[in-house]
Amino acid sequence: MEFIRPDININFVGMRFKAFVLSLVLIVLGLGTLAWRGGLKLGVDFSGGTVIQVQFQKPTTPSEIREALSGLGIAQGAIQRVGSREDNEYLIRTEVSFTGLKNVGDEIQAELDKHFGPGQSTIRSVEMVGPKVGEDLREKALLAIYYALLFIALYISGRFELKWGTSGVMAGTLVAGVYLLGAVGAPMSLLIAAALVLTLVLCWVLKLPFALGAVVSLVHDVLITISAFAFTDKEFSLTIVAALLTIVGYSLNDTIIVYDRIRENLRKTGRRGELKEIVNTSINQTLSRTILTSGTTLLVVLCLFVFGGSVIHDFAFALLVGIGVGTYSSIFVASPLLILYEDWSAKPRPATRTAG
């Protein structure tokens, strides 16, 4: 069965400015929503607090659980059902941090026994994260995302442009820049933002358009996925960071497929013809593979989102948004950026001298 005709020629490149505007609007709206909400809704992993998983023998409701635990000061926490309705199992998240993990379990069990009766509830797990640990986890999560993007820039510049020496210069400059910013006591969020800007500037100055396109595309995917969490006010936790790193890897794979074809076509044609035509032809030649891969992956993630239960619901949501955006960016952002780079970096023609 022929899914897409081999001679198909959709003008993706011609739609690049509309795509840039759409991406910019989504990112600005997302950042605006983040500013309006005062930041992301951080999970216990990052903000500190306690997560308790409890199973009941009989059906109960979140309001009954809140009433039972009101004496411990954790009644304002989020209570969420996990598993099927018949399991009667709940996850209780509270920002309250307790000093003794063992005592916490005993105290909660005593309160539940007092309200529901002995043997009617079982605490399956208690996890506690202190505020300092939450702050450390936030910093490490930011560093993980930043280093993922940095090493991708180095890999792309080395593999696609055979500039491993230039990649080494970029890596050394970035390490020195990050070290200096850290030495003057810059906050981690400012340090990561400055390092990302420095990465993009170095890609431009060192003439690494493939790396520039890949990094901008990945930052674009991460920002829009985070914006989706800002729009929906969903909880942002370590699990979502894992999803973001997965999205970075998936989106990069899509981008590399298209970049590979562009490089092959550039070699075949010896750059005869417009770069726009070569990029557009390359996107069309890989379109069937892109749609089949992304379509089947999205189908699996959609099943996880609908049927996977509340525990992985937010993880599946992040993947659903990220994979969709990653596919879009490999077609409409990463590849057209090569054209934009060539247009902007083209040297102006020398002015023709006229006889005086």
Domain boundaries, the chain: 12-41+133-163+208-345, 49-129
- Strands across the sheet containing 89-94: 78-82, 89-94, 49-56, 121-129
pLDDT at 353 over 60: no
CA distances from 235 to 121, 133, 199 (A): 27, 18, 30
Kindly report each contact of residues 260-265 with a partner whose C-beta sits within 8 Å and lies 24 or more positions away, as own/partner: 261/285, 261/286, 262/335, 262/338, 263/160
Residue for token pair 């969420």? 80
Question: Residue 341: its pLDDT value, please?
Answer: 86
Q: What is the mean pLDDT of residues 291-320?
A: 86
What distance in Å separates the CA atoms of residue 63 and residue 50, rounded to the nearest whole number?
19
Using the predicted structure, report yes or no on whether residue 263 has a pLDDT greater than 60.
yes
What pLDDT is stored for residue 317 in this prediction?
A: 92
Region class of 19: left (phi > 0), else alpha (psi between -120 and 50), else beta: alpha
Nearest to 234 by CA among 127, 312, 294, 299: 312
Give 12-41+133-163+208-345's CATH code, choosing from 1.10.4080.10, 1.20.1640.10, 3.40.50.10860, 1.10.357.10: 1.20.1640.10
- pLDDT tens for each residue of 5-64: 767 788 888 888 999 999 999 999 998 998 898 888 887 777 777 788 888 888 888 888
Report which of 147, 327, 309 is spatially closest to residue 254, judged by C-alpha positions. 327
Q: What is the pLDDT of residue 134?
A: 66
- Please give, one letter per residue, the 3-state secondary structure of 327-344: HHHHHHHHHHHHHHHHHH
Q: Output 338 or 160, whichever has higher pLDDT.
A: 338
Q: Mean pLDDT score of the chain, rounded to an integer?
A: 80
| Whether pLDDT at 89 is above 50 | yes
Q: What percent of the chain has pLDDT over 90?
A: 8
- Using CA atoms in the order 303, 307, 312, 313, what is the torsion angle rounded to 10 degrees? 90
**CATH of region 49-129:** 3.30.70
Q: How many CB atoms are located within 10 Å of the residue 159 CB? A: 17
Distance CA 183, CA 18 (A): 42
pTM for this model (two decimals) = 0.79
Q: Which residue has the tokens 């993880």?
A: 315
**CB-CB neighbours of 51 under 10 Å:** 19
